């Protein structure tokens, strides 16, 4: 009798738990549908809460999806979120909560690509990240991994990298090298300098921007798409003025 009663109580408890799970699942499904009708039904509660939080500052969430490229673990993931207003966000989710990581709607999905430039005192290296490519060093036109950080300008024509290095031996008095500064620098009213090229003079930021632009062209040719995101590293011994010059040069090239 006791076994029978115990068994009946166990069955009743199991049945109640099952009913509760069905009710909770139905409630959760309703909440998800109200919060984001087009969302993936497999999204976690934290992901739905992130969508709901963004909804507070936007009209409504139109779509949400998990990034295909960025890390996805039990403690970290990235979401693409689009609102009905047309706004887009890249949301970072962690076990501690969430934040809007970017106002871009790619999270490195689709055709997104980013590049890095290791800008040294003599050479530079270009890295590329894109869907299907975790990290790749971009080869220059000479199929080399590093490129001299040089530019040659004559009669409006610009030559970069290894070809510019070859020209230096032919025009030793028309170049500026740190150890052999044949060219006289021209002070500017911005506490920087300009370099004379023939009858024209270019601000140092403009010269650096030309080099960065050439690096981006090489990365875009390798990636076969437009690149707007870049990370630039400089030597640790660069002073604040040198770092600022690199930053301003990057801004000139958008």
Are both 23 and 82 inside the same structural domain?
yes
* Whole-angstrom distance, CA of residue 204 vs CA of residue 141: 25
Pull the structure tokens for residue 152: 């040659």
Do residue 93 and residue 119 come from a single domain?
A: no
Residues 241 and 118 in one domain: yes
pLDDT of residue 145: 92
Give how many domains the chain has, as a whole number: 2
Residues 127 and 236 in one domain: yes
Q: At what angle do helices 2-35 and 45-57 cross, to 10 degrees?
A: 30
In terms of residue numbers, what domain contains 59? 2-102
Q: In what order do the strands lie in the sheet with 97-102?
A: 61-66, 76-83, 88-94, 97-102
Spell out the per-residue pLDDT of the chain, length 254, in tens: 333 333 344 455 555 555 555 555 555 555 555 555 555 555 666 666 666 666 665 667 777 777 766 667 767 777 787 777 777 778 877 777 777 776 665 666 656 678 999 999 889 999 998 766 678 899 988 889 999 998 888 877 888 988 888 887 777 666 666 554 555 677 777 777 787 777 778 888 988 999 999 999 999 998 888 887 888 999 999 999 889 989 999 998 87
Question: Looking at the domain assignment, is residue 228 inside a domain?
Answer: yes
């Amino acid at each position: 009798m006791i076994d029978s009663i115990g068994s009946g109580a166990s069955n009743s408890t199991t049945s109640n738990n099952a009913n509760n799970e069905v009710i909770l699942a139905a409630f959760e499904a309703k909440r998800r549908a109200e919060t984001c009708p087009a969302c993936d039904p497999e999204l976690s509660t934290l992901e739905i809460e992130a969508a709901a939080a963004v909804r507070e500052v936007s009209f409504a969430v139109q779509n949400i999806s998990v990034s295909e490229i960025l890390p996805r673990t039990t403690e970290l993931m990235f979401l693409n979120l689009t609102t009905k207003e047309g706004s887009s966000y890249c949301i970072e989710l962690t076990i501690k909560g969430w934040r809007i990581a970017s106002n871009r709607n790619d999270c490195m999905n689709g055709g997104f690509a980013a590049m890095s430039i290791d800008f040294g005192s003599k050479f530079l290296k270009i890295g590329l990240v894109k869907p299907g490519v975790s990290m790749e060093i971009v080869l220059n036109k000479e199929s080399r991994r590093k490129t001299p950080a040089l530019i040659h300008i004559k009669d409006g024509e610009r030559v970069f990298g290894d070809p510019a290095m070859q020209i230096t031996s032919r025009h030793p008095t028309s170049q500026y090298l740190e150890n052999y500064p044949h060219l006289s620098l021209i002070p500017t009213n911005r506490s920087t300098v300009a370099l004379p090229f023939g009858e024209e003079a270019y601000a140092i930021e403009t010269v650096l921007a030309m080099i960065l632009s050439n690096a981006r062209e090489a990365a875009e040719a390798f990636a076969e798409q437009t690149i707007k995101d870049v990370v630039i590293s400089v030597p640790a011994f660069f002073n604040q003025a040198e770092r600022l010059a690199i930053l301003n040069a990057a801004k000139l090239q958008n």
